[in-house]
């Protein structure tokens, strides 16, 4: 299947040298196949060809101009850097007017812009007293009888790779490898659904003739993406997996519940009940009856969804308790060391009251300690195991594992969850629960988890006060700082979140300045906030260092914690009352909602301030400020998630760092419902036809 283009490196194309290939590698493009699958981020309508005199807009537009004065070149000194450079000028005109066109460091263009030749230019016209000009426009030769592509692909770029380069390489690949590009979909499926052939769809996606072609091409490619996704899900949801029923001692649950310092909400009780029913394998009465007398049946899989702060941890804890009390091992996997440790501390402490032995397994443990922990897990002495990805490493062996819980599941990939399930002795799979704090809109959840059962925790514990939320411009910074300072004087703690840990390439290539945690923290020390106890934390720090900082923060020894998004998931400090998010425009709504969930966890009134250079008093109605409004007005994670999904599509929705399988390049799950259903149907048909 598409072996040739899969194996052919992009350096086989004219124009891609080794150095350029390295740049392409940054975009995850290695083979000709990758390049063909490197789809535009969006499309731009260049509109029709304009006339110089008639056009008065200040946006980019398309002009057909003939060179009337040839290109001349001059040496100048750059005003910014003081470095020597060259500047090129020439004039080109249509019937209505003449434009002076300028390029920089492009002496080679003198053979291109020769008097009498006609080109299409795409750029911004500037009108000054000295005439009409245009700087560094895009251009291509103009032919009388050739209509330029009105719709133009816009690719995600990296520095050194231009749209033009990508377009010309894609075109080359499509032409040179025409015979090697095979349709991955069965002809039956293509026919049944009236799809465009793959080769045509590739042309249509990269060089759309018109809207209709583009839409058909997109549909065809999106379908394939969804179809492959379903095939994978069906394969993972393999019903031949073996699980078994465990006997849970119900009366013991009351002891656990009455020991808690609060009353469980109804939704929490229901979720716990659901999980216990799963473990005893009574989840499907029909199936259960069928399985009567058999020792094995497929294990249950459940998604527990609840907004930030809805109290999922105690639900997990109850399930872990039930397993331990009934003589089985259970495990809880968290996405970060900070979170795993926090769970270990709170859950371990609670469970120790019942004589239950809990262990922690994370990366970076001392060898001796790790060996001992592994041994305790393998022997079953550890009744409850809490940890990070370290749990799915080769050398971890569980003993009689009845239940595997994954917290903040969207941070893990399907494969990682499966690896955890496969860890049990023999080949009996534990029952699984995945807990999600990202409220996934129901439609999407159904799609993604196919055969998963869902428990929703839709009520908040009593007495929670909504977090007061404000979206402000950077001009409010000093007022916000003063506010944080006042809160600190009252003994309250604050978080400041910046999008990136260190100066990165992304930072250099995006237009505005990014606030990096360390630098930001250093700068803060020079402001009035400098008198507070400030520390920063970021994802690349050593585990020990992170744990120490979080511990000091939890103990109230730090007033202000500057952080990257490592604190996004699950951290619990009820004494923190302010969350300031810098560059809020860099985050999705759901992510911001998660961040906001870090405060308002205690009885004090809490505040979330979303700051962004895009929020200007002069533009109160920008799309961005409207987006921020959603957050200021709503605390309903589901509603916010739905908006987020609408705005960003499912790929972004799950965050950049997630493991990738829900990232669709082309399909848009929020609007492609019909296509989704088709893909699901076809995938099921294929699986039934060929088996797994
Ligand atoms: P999340 O669902 O975001 O993981 P947590 O489990 O961390 O939320 O719970 C948030 C806070 O709410 C914790 O401090 C927890 O002790 C508390 N909590 C959980 N359930 C209840 C309840 N029923 N009543 C009061 N407080 C609760
Ligand atoms: Mg949590």
For residue range 592-617, what is the model confidence (pLDDT) as tens digits? 888 898 898 888 899 999 999 888 77
Domain ranges of the chain: 3-43+165-209, 47-148, 248-457, 468-634
Summarize pLDDT for 373-421 with one digit per residue, the tens: 999 999 999 999 999 889 988 889 999 999 999 887 655 666 676 777 7
pLDDT-based confidence at 510, cuts 50/70/90? very low
Ligand 2 centroid to 409 CA: how many Å?
A: 10
CB 373 within 8 A of CB 361: yes
**Structure token pair of residue 507:** 């930072």
Mean pLDDT of the chain: 82
Is 600 touching ligand 1 by the criterion CB < 6 Å? Answer: no
pTM, rounded to two decimals = 0.61
Ligand 1 atom closest to residue 264's alpha carbon, by position in its atom list: 23
For tokens 């392409």, the residue is 24
Tokens of 500: 């990136």
The pLDDT value given to residue 7:
84
Q: What is the C-alpha to C-alpha distance for residues 450 and 237, in angstroms, rounded to an integer?
A: 8
pLDDT band at 549 (very low <50, low <70, confident <90, very high): confident
Residue with CA closest to ligand 1 atom 15: 311
Least confident span in 193-197, 430-434, 478-482: 430-434
Q: Regarding predicted confidence, which is higher, 444 or 284? A: 444
Tokens 């305790």 appear where? 376
Ligand 2: distance of its center to the CA of 195 in Å?
44
Q: Which residue has the higher pLDDT, 355 or 502?
A: 355
CA–CA dist 560, 481 (Å, integer): 11
Assigned architecture for domain 468-634? 3-Layer(aba) Sandwich (3.40)
**What are 279-313's pLDDT values in tens digits?**
886 544 445 445 444 455 678 888 888 887 889 99
For residue 262 and ligand 1, the question of a CB distance below 6 A is answered with yes
CATH class, domain 47-148, is mainly beta
Nearest to 116 by CA among 145, 86, 90: 90
Burial class of 453 by CB neighbour count within 10 A (0 to 12, 13 to 18, 19+): middle
Percent pLDDT > 70 in the chain is: 83
Ligand with smallest separation from the Cα of 594: 1
pLDDT the model gives residue 686: 85
Fold match between domain 248-457 and domain 468-634: yes
pLDDT band at 680 (very low <50, low <70, confident <90, very high): confident
Rounded to an integer, the average pLDDT of 576-596 is: 88
pLDDT category at 316 given cuts 50, 70, 90 is very high
Task: Please give the number of the atom of ligand 1 that sits closest to the Cα of 346.
Answer: 16
Assign 675 to helix, strand or coil. Answer: helix
Protein residue with least CA distance to atom 25, ligand 1: 461
d(CA 595, CA 487): 19
Specify the residue with its C-alpha closest to ligand 1, atom 9: 311
Which of 309, 345, 593, 597 for mutating ligand 1's site (highest number of atoms within 8 Å of CB)? 309
Give the ligand whose atoms come closest to the C-alpha of residue 268.
Answer: 1
* pLDDT tens-place string over residues 249-278: 777 889 999 999 999 999 999 999 999 988
Residue 451 is predicted with a pLDDT of 61
Which residues have a beta carbon within 5 Å of ligand 2, which is an ion? 570
pLDDT at residue 412 in the model: 63
Query: Which bound ligand lies closest to the C-alpha atom of 313?
Result: 1
Higher pLDDT, 225 or 657: 225
Closest protein CA for atom 18 of ligand 1: 311
Weakest mean pLDDT among 306-310, 619-623, 627-631, 638-642: 619-623
Task: For a ligand 1 pocket test, name from 313, 433, 458 the mutation site with the most ligand atoms within 8 angstroms of its C-beta.
Answer: 313
Alpha carbon of 338 to ligand 1 centroid (Å):
17
CB of residue 637 inside a 6 A radius of ligand 1:
no
pLDDT of residue 509 exceeding 60, the answer is no
Q: Which CATH number applies to 248-457?
A: 3.40.50.300
pLDDT(5) > 50: yes
More confident residue, 661 or 45: 45
In whole angstroms, give the CA distance from residue 437 to residue 440: 9
Position 565 scores a pLDDT of 66
583 with 515: CB under 8 angstroms?
yes
What is the whole-number distance in angstroms between the Cα of residue 321 and the centre of ligand 2? Answer: 17
Query: What are the tens digits of pLDDT across the range 87-123?
Result: 999 999 999 999 999 998 888 888 889 999 998 888 8
Query: Comparing 664 with 614, which gets the higher pLDDT?
Result: 614
61 lines ligand 1 (CB under 6 A): no
């Amino acid at each position: 299947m598409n072996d040739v283009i899969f194996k052919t490196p992009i350096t086989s194309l004219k124009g891609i040298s080794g150095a350029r290939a390295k740049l392409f590698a940054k975009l995850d493009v290695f083979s000709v196949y990758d390049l063909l699958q490197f789809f535009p981020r969006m499309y731009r309508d260049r509109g029709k060809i304009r006339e110089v005199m008639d056009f008065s807009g200040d946006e980019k537009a398309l002009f057909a101009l003939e060179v009337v004065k040839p290109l001349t070149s001059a040496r100048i000194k750059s005003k910014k850097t003081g470095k020597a450079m060259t500047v090129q000028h020439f004039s080109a005109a249509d019937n209505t007017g003449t434009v002076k066109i300028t390029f920089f460091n492009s002496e080679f263009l003198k053979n291109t812009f020769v008097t009498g030749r006609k080109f299409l230019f795409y750029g911004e016209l500037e009108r000054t007293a000295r005439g009409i000009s245009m700087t560094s426009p895009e251009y291509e030769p103009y032919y009388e009888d050739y209509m330029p592509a009105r719709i133009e692909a816009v690719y995600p770029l990296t520095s050194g790779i231009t749209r033009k380069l990508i377009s010309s390489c894609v075109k080359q690949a499509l032409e040179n490898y025409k015979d090697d590009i095979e349709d991955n979909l069965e002809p039956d499926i293509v026919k049944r659904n009236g799809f465009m052939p793959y080769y045509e769809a590739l042309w249509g996606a990269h060089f759309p003739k018109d809207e209709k072609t583009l839409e058909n091409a997109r549909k065809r490619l999106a379908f394939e993406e969804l179809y492959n996704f379903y095939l994978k899900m069906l394969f993972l949801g393999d019903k031949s997996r073996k699980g078994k029923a465990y006997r849970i001692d119900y009366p013991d649950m009351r002891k656990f519940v009455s020991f808690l310092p609060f009353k469980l909400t109804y939704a929490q009780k229901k979720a716990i009940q659901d999980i216990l029913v799963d473990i005893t394998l009574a989840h499907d009465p029909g199936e259960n009856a069928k399985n009567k007398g058999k020792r094995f049946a497929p294990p249950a899989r459940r998604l527990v969804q609840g907004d930030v702060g809805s109290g999922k941890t105690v639900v997990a804890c109850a399930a872990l308790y039930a397993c331990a009390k009934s003589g089985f091992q259970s495990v809880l996997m968290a996405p970060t060391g900070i979170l795993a440790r926090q769970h270990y501390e709170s859950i371990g402490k609670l469970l120790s009251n019942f004589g239950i032995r809990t262990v922690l397994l994370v990366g970076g443990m001392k060898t001796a300690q790790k060996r001992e922990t592994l041994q305790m897990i393998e022997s079953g002495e550890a009744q409850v195991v809490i940890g990070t990805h370290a749990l799915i490493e080769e050398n971890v062996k569980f003993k009689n594992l009845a239940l595997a819980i994954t917290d903040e599941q969207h941070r893990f990939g399907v494969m990682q969850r499966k690896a955890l399930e496969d860890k049990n002795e023999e080949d009996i799979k534990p029952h699984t629960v995945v807990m999600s704090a990202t409220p996934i809109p129901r439609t999407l959840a159904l799609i993604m988890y196919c055969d998963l059962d869902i428990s929703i925790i839709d009520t908040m514990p009593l007495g929670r006060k909504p977090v007061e939320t404000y979206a402000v411009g950077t001009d409010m910074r000093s007022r916000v700082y003063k506010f944080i300072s006042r809160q600190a004087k009252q003994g309250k703690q604050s978080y400041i979140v910046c999008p990136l840990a260190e100066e990165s390439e992304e930072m250099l290539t995006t237009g505005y300045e990014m606030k990096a945690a360390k630098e930001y923290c250093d700068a803060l020390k020079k402001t009035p906030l400098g008198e507070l106890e400030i520390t920063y934390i970021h994802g690349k720090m050593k585990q020990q260092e992170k744990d120490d900082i979080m511990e000091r923060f939890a103990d109230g020894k730090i007033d202000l914690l500057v952080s990257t998004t490592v604190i996004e998931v699950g951290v619990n400090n009820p004494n923190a009352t302010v969350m300031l998010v810098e560059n809020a425009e860099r985050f999705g709504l759901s992510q911001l909602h998660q961040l906001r969930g870090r405060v308002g966890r205690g009885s004090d009134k809490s505040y979330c301030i979303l700051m962004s250079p895009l929020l200007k008093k002069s533009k109160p109605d920008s799309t961005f400020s409207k987006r921020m409004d959603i957050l200021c007005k709503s605390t309903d994670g589901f509603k916010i998630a739905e908006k987020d999904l609408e705005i960003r599509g499912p790929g972004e929705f799950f965050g950049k760092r997630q493991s990738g399988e829900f990232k669709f390049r082309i399909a848009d799950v929020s609007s492609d419902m019909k296509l989704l259903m088709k893909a699901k149907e076809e995938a099921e048909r294929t699986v039934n036809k060929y088996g797994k």
